[in-house]
Structure 1
Amino acid sequence: MARKSAAGAGTPATVELTKAGIAFTGHAYEHDPAATSYGMEAATVLGLDPARVFKTLVADVGGTLAVAIVPVSGTLDLKALAHALGQKKAAMADPALAQRRTGYVLGGISPIGQRQHSPTVLDHSALAHETIFVSGGRRGFDIELSPADLIAVTKASTAPIGHQA
Structure 2
Amino acid sequence: MLQTTYSSPLGQLILLANSSSLLGLWYSDQAHLGAKYALATIQHGSSPILQQTAQWLDAYFSGRKPAIDQLSLAPQATPFRLQVYHVLTTIPYGKTMTYQQIADRLTALNGHKTGSARAVGGAVGHNPIGIIIPCHRVVGTNGQLTGYAGGLERKRQLLALEHQ
Q: TM-score, normalising length from structure 1? A: 0.28
The structure with more radius of gyration: 2
Select the structure with the greater relative contact order (CA < 8 A; seq sep ≥ 6): 1
Structure with greater proportional helix content: 2
Structure with greater proportional strand content: 1
